[in-house]
Structure 1
Amino acid sequence: MTTPGPGLRVSFAEELHLFLTARHRRADALHVPHDETSTLGHVIQSLGVPLTEVGELVVDGHRAAPSYRPRDGESAHVPAVQRPQLLPSSEPPHFVLDVHLGALARRLRLVGLDTAYGNDMSDDALLRQANAERGVLLTQDRGLLQRGSLWLGAYVRGAHPDAQLLDVLDRFAPSLSPWTRCLACNGALSPVAKSDIATLLRPGTRRTYDTFMRCDSCARLYWRGAHSAKLEATVRAARTAVRERTLS
């Protein structure tokens, strides 16, 4: 695909090189044979880069839509999506996560972000849910992001859930409301009097803690226990990430 001759010249921002094959990452630009019938978006995705990850396309110095049909000999530049990424709705973001991102789902809920997750969802069901709820589908499956029916999606970078959380926050810079969502079901947490739940607590917990929250949906109880130090560190890192992205 890199043999000189008639065709389309395509260059990618460095942030997008991870989606390209190893041999293509080494090239400053790719020379792609082109029949002038395929759209620019099709060409980009055929090279492995989901359109969810690209910014405003440029062809020979002019902005172009993914639906543009390049002509032989033209040069296209593919930038990475702008960060922070603006979402179509002014409402707080709603995220829908694929089955492999359960640990990330808990972290997103910890910092107060509306996060749908099920560990038994098929790809088709995920797409239907994301589209119906106007949610951002978060995944590391490029094939899912290349589905033409997907309303909005984002590739999650990072191998560890903490790194994945910071990547999502860096990309969208959402407003955070830590300790307001159930880590198990995403329901809203409300304060509950200790006297109302005393019989549900273990003796050690009943003696040691006085402040509790209860999920409005599943009734799961929460309190700042011995495990909270790690969670608080996650919240601090999340707030720092959003603040730095917002100020950049």
Structure 2
Amino acid sequence: MNGPEIRVEFAPELHLFVPQARRGGATPVATDGVSTLGHVVESLGVPLTEVGALEVDGREVPASHVPAAGERVRVRTVPRPQRVPGAPLRFLLDVHLGTLARRLRLLGVDAAYESTDIGDAALAARSAAERRVMLSRDRGLLRRRELWAGAFVYSTRPEEQLRDVLDRFAPDLRPWTRCTACNGLLREATKEEVADQLHTGTRRTYEVFARCRACGRAYWKGAHHEQLEAIVERALAEQARRG
């Protein structure tokens, strides 16, 4: 772009996407005079999923605004909690976020997950068809126009990823109600119903079971329950602090 020059200032949370903005102040940007402000911001590396208000010379404008020479732009981050209108809050996670998907399901959050790399086009199409918020660290995927909604996952650590998603979207938490393997809903089950999935020691030791309505997997408070309980208790405590 070698047309009218504008100056763009990014919220600190967005500096991850725009390394030149880390020096502080506004970044000079040459535009072509016809591209929208949304296109300009994305061309600088920031997916629009991460953009809140766009302000030009102190007034809020839509992403469709075509910037003119000399304008000063402020790019805000998405407000929290972020509301996704028009559909129940549901998520879709790409192949790299399997641990996060399982932890969301542990908390009773509807979190679909693609365990194989089906490609950005197919993921975006599923997001749109099922009206799910796409969670990904792939900026290219989050820039696809057919997405229903999306959000960049900022951390590579599952505990931080979970905390960030819960803080950003504030989903309703219903722990122990979903299958961590397939996202199906759980129901109470008798020992006899799940006997074919139990080792002898488990049959002797445990009396309370649940079973996935979708895939039939059995659940009980086994060896890893304390670790899972800690994840649940931490998430509920943070939810209570947020009010």
Q: TM-score, normalised by structure 1?
A: 0.93
RMSD: 1.6
Provide the rounded CA distance (Å) in 2 between the counterparts of 1:198 and 1:101.
Answer: 32
User: Alignment partner for residue 154 of structure 1, among 142, 146, 151?
Assistant: 151
- Specify the SS of the correspondent of 1:144: helix
Q: Give, in angstroms, the shift of residue 67 of structure 1.
A: 0.5
Q: Is this contact kept in 2: 1:35–1:72, CA < 8 A?
A: no
Q: Is this contact kept in 2: 1:212–1:223, CA < 8 A?
A: yes
Q: Corresponding residue for 1:11?
A: 9
Q: Corresponding residue for 2:103?
A: 107
Q: Which amino acid aligns with 1:61?
A: G
Provide the rounded CA distance (Å) in 2 between the counterparts of 1:200 and 1:86.
Answer: 41
Identity of aligned residues (%): 54
User: Alignment partner for residue 181 of structure 1, among 178, 182, 191?
Assistant: 178
Q: Which amino acid aligns with 2:208?
A: T
Cα offsets for 1:104-135 (capped at 9, x unmatched): 11001000011111211221111111000000
Q: Is this contact kept in 2: 1:174–1:242, CA < 8 A?
A: no
User: Alignment partner for residue 77 of structure 1, among 74, 79, 82?
Assistant: 74
Q: Give, in angstroms, the shift of residue 152 of structure 1.
A: 0.6
Post-superposition, which runs of at least 4 consecutive aligned residues in structure 1 deviate over 2 A? Answer: 195-200, 240-245
Does residue 137 (structure 1) correspond to residue 134 (structure 2)? The answer is yes
Does residue 60 (structure 1) correspond to residue 57 (structure 2)? The answer is yes
Q: Which amino acid aligns with 1:157?
A: Y
User: Alignment partner for residue 165 of structure 1, among 162, 165, 170?
Assistant: 162
Provide the rounded CA distance (Å) in 2 between the counterparts of 1:72 and 1:237.
Answer: 50
Q: Give, in angstroms, the shift of residue 48 of structure 1.
A: 0.5
- Specify the SS of the correspondent of 2:187: strand
Q: Give, in angstroms, the shift of residue 198 of structure 1.
A: 3.1
User: Alignment partner for residue 237 of structure 2, among 237, 240, 244?
Assistant: 240
Provide the rounded CA distance (Å) in 2 between the counterparts of 1:99 and 1:144.
Answer: 12
The gaps in structure 2 that reach 5 residues or longer are none
- Specify the SS of the correspondent of 2:79: coil
Provide the rounded CA distance (Å) in 2 between the counterparts of 1:112 and 1:82.
Answer: 24
Provide the rounded CA distance (Å) in 2 between the counterparts of 1:69 and 1:81.
Answer: 21
Cα offsets for 1:20-57 (capped at 9, x unmatched): 12x33213110111232111001101111111001111
Provide the rounded CA distance (Å) in 2 between the counterparts of 1:139 and 1:163.
Answer: 14
- Specify the SS of the correspondent of 2:161: helix
Q: Give, in angstroms, the shift of residue 73 of structure 1.
A: 0.6
Q: Give, in angstroms, the shift of residue 236 of structure 1.
A: 1.2
Q: Is this contact kept in 2: 1:96–1:137, CA < 8 A?
A: yes
- Specify the SS of the correspondent of 1:67: coil
The gaps in structure 1 that reach 5 residues or longer are none
Which stretch has the larger CA shift, 134-143 or 156-165?
156-165
Q: Which amino acid aligns with 2:76?
A: P
Cα offsets for 1:214-241 (capped at 9, x unmatched): 0011110000112101101111121123
- Specify the SS of the correspondent of 1:109: helix
Provide the rounded CA distance (Å) in 1 between the counterparts of 2:229 and 2:109.
Answer: 16
- Specify the SS of the correspondent of 1:129: helix
Cα offsets for 1:181-231 (capped at 9, x unmatched): 101111110000123333442111011110000001111000011210110
Provide the rounded CA distance (Å) in 2 between the counterparts of 1:147 and 1:195.
Answer: 48
Q: TM-score, normalised by structure 2?
A: 0.95
- Specify the SS of the correspondent of 2:182: coil
How many equivalent residue pairs?
241
Q: Is this contact kept in 2: 1:105–1:117, CA < 8 A?
A: yes
Q: Corresponding residue for 1:208?
A: 205
Does residue 44 (structure 1) correspond to residue 41 (structure 2)? The answer is yes
Provide the rounded CA distance (Å) in 1 between the counterparts of 2:171 and 2:221.
Answer: 24
